[in-house]
């Protein structure tokens, strides 16, 4: 997937869109498909409802580094009258930093669709309070994928999974903490299940003494690993499931459905979000504090987070879970699309077991603990 460089992107943006009241500049920290989503889908739709307005889409690159480039741009323009960007699509870590440093506007009370959001991640971004400053564009979620022919009754909880893996050696596979975030998500879910107060790890406050309470959970995970397969990555887990080499493993839900839609996974593969849950992560729509077009930016985000656009754009195009509460999409999706995304994992499953990643210091402690007490 082609990713625009920040230099080329910004150059193109500035050349194509001199600041004016009728130009809305949307910067996206994501893969090219997300840039194209604004350019080819959201932009034309918004322009049709706002005659005379031109939406310009620019990408700053995938991952946290793309959000970092948006942060650097807004920070560099802190003393300017206006910023180049009117709407930004950013990751959790950058959102917390930008709110803390006053680079984002508090706008969600001006957008009616904000009332349709139920996710905790709309308030808490890895421990940073982002209430009022962001609305999720989508929720990307991890879950356990399993072969229903090999596993008739998938585990309902991490405790059941631990016991099942012991009785069925080398039938569970995950990619540890170095092969992709689905493995990291599984390890975080393990600590949530067996390490104590998951809510504290997600919401804070941080207490470095807490990590000592995970020793038993990490010792159990080390023992658990003796019965499982360490896969080469997110795709590697799906490959091994497809080949029947393992029966169950953690994956990203959108990748699972995309592979299944492409025929790379057979229809007997299913998903399970076992209790107490696994982490996912959103990307956010936010408005820079010094946008020259705040009202237009708010109206653009209202369109992008409306139930119909969330159904047609986020769910159907990308296989992501919506940024707003999924119950608001009932009647907006055809039955086939609804069944595909919400049969294995229902909206109530998501409400109960879709977790956030831990706040940054606990996140780092979990990774460090895994390296010291599980990997060696």
Angle at 316 between CA 311 and CA 320, to 5 degrees: 85
Residue 14 has pLDDT above 50, yes or no: no
Name the pairing type of β-strands 321-322 and 135-147.
Answer: antiparallel
The top-scoring range by mean pLDDT among 63-77, 160-174, 326-340 is: 160-174
Res 316 pLDDT > 70: yes
- CA torsion sign for 191, 194, 200, 202 is positive
- pLDDT band at residue 166 using 50, 70 and 90 as cut-offs: very high
Is the pLDDT reported for residue 23 higher than 90? yes
Q: What are phi and psi of 215, to 5 degrees?
A: -55, -45
pLDDT digit string, tens, across residues 284-305: 999 999 999 999 999 999 999 9
160 CB contacts (<8 Å, ≥6 apart)? 274
Radius of gyration over every alpha carbon of the chain, rounded to an integer in angstroms: 21
In the predicted structure, residue 116 carries a pLDDT above the cut 90: yes
Q: Say whether pLDDT at 8 is over 60.
A: no
> Measured on CA atoms in the order 132, 133, 135, 136, is the torsion positive or negative?
negative
Q: What is the pLDDT of residue 333?
A: 87
**pLDDT, position 127:** 85
Mean pLDDT of 217-224: 97
Q: Is the pLDDT of residue 318 over 90?
A: no
pLDDT at 120: 81
DSSP 8-state secondary structure symbol assigned to residue 113: G
Which tokens in the block code for residue 174? 């995950």
Tell me which residue of 198, 235, 178, 196 sits closest to 374, measured CA to CA.
178
Tokens 């990308």, located at residue: 318
Nearby residues of 257 by Cβ (< 8 Å), 6 or more positions away: 319, 340, 341
Provide the pLDDT for residue 320: 86
pLDDT at 179: 77
pLDDT at 97: 94
Which is more confident, 317 or 115?
Answer: 115
* pLDDT tier for residue 339 given thresholds of 50, 70 and 90: confident
Given a cut of 90, whether residue 265 has pLDDT beyond it is: yes
Supply the DSSP symbol for 358: P
User: For the chain, give me the number of helices (H) and strands (E)?
Assistant: 17, 13
Q: Could you tell me the domains of the chain?
A: 22-139+281-345 (3.40.190.10), 140-280+354-375 (3.40.190.10)
Q: Cα dihedral sign for 301, 305, 311, 314?
A: positive
- The predicted model scores a pTM of 0.76
Query: Of 124-128, 204-208, 221-225, 240-244, where does mean pLDDT reach its minimum?
Result: 124-128
pLDDT given at position 334: 86
- Mean pLDDT throughout 148-156? 95
| The pLDDT of residue 209 is above 60 | yes
Higher pLDDT, 331 or 63: 331
Reported confidence tier of residue 34, pLDDT bands at 50, 70, 90: confident
């Amino acid at each position: 997937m082609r990713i625009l460089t920040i230099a080329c992107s910004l150059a193109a943006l500035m050349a194509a869109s001199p600041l004016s009241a009728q130009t809305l500049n949307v910067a996206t920290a994501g893969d090219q498909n997300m840039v194209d989503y604004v350019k080819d889908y959201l932009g034309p739709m918004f322009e049709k409802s706002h005659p005379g307005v031109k939406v310009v889409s620019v990408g700053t690159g995938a991952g946290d580094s793309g959000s970092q480039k948006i942060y650097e741009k807004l920070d560099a323009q802190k003393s300017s009258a206006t910023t180049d960007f009117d709407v930004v699509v950013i990751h959790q870590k950058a959102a917390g930093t930008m709110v803390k440093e006053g680079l984002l506007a508090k706008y969600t009370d001006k957008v009616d669709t904000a009332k349709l959001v139920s996710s905790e991640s709309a308030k808490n971004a890895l421990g940073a309070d982002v209430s009022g400053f962001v609305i999720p564009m989508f929720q990307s979620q991890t879950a356990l994928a399993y072969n229903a022919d090999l596993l008739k009754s998938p585990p309902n909880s991490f405790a059941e999974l631990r016991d099942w893996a012991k009785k069925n050696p080398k039938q569970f596979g995950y990619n540890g903490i170095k092969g992709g975030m689905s493995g990291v998500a599984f390890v975080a879910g393990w600590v949530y299940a067996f390490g104590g107060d998951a809510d504290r790890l997600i919401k804070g406050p941080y207490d470095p003494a807490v990590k000592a309470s995970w020793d038993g959970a990490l010792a159990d995970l080390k023992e658990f690993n003796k019965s499982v397969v360490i896969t080469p990555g997110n795709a590697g887990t799906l490959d091994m499931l497809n080949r029947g080499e393992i029966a169950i493993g953690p994956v990203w839900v959108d990748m699972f459905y995309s592979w299944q839609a492409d025929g790379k996974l057979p229809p007997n593969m299913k998903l399970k979000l076992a209790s107490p849950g696994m982490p996912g992560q959103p990307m956010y729509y936010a408005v820079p504090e010094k946008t020259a077009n705040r009202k237009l930016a708010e109206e653009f985000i209202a369109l992008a987070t409306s139930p119909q656009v969330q159904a047609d754009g986020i769910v159907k195009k990308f296989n992501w879970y919506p940024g707003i509460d999924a119950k608001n999409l009932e009647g907006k999706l055809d039955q086939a699309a609804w069944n595909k995304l919400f049969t294995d994992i229902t909206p109530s499953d998501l409400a109960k077991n879709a977790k956030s990643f831990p706040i940054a210091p606990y996140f780092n402690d979990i990774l460090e603990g895994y390296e010291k007490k599980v990997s060696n």
